[in-house]
Amino acid sequence: MGDQSITQDAWVKVEAYDDLDPTVTGDVHLHTFAVPGMEVRVGAAKNDEDESGEFETRLIPSVQYYQIELGPDSLNKLHDALRPFIAAAKECEPPKGRKVRVK
């Protein structure tokens, strides 16, 4: 009361868990991966004189990035699932970031 203060230590335990198997909490690490896809983009009208309202659509390659926390067993499952695709692919450098133009 008054000018007195009560202090108490508080302990917080932060525990990571496997996003596929929440019972796994040991040796869990965050992993980032990308999945390629195609995005539909709607462009300009097919014909400037055309008033039908039809627009040109294009498929544009896109990449979606994900993060997941996995323990060793789940990480092995991910590697096993990707193994045939990795075997057919060739290793390459990561993509370079695009330069942003400032106007």
pLDDT in tens, the chain (103 residues): 678 888 889 999 888 999 999 999 999 999 999 999 888 888 766 565 556 667 788 888 899 999 999 999 999 999 999 999 999 999 999 878 767 666 6
**Residues, the chain:** 103
Q: Does 64 reside within a domain?
A: yes
Q: Does 15 reside within a domain?
A: no
Q: Does 96 reside within a domain?
A: no
Tokens, residue 77: 């499952």
- Closest of 79, 62, 78, 68 to residue 29, by C-alpha: 68
- Give me the domain span that covers residue 33: 29-45+53-88
pTM (two decimals) = 0.62
3 Cβ contact partners less than 8 Å away, ≥ 6 residues apart? none
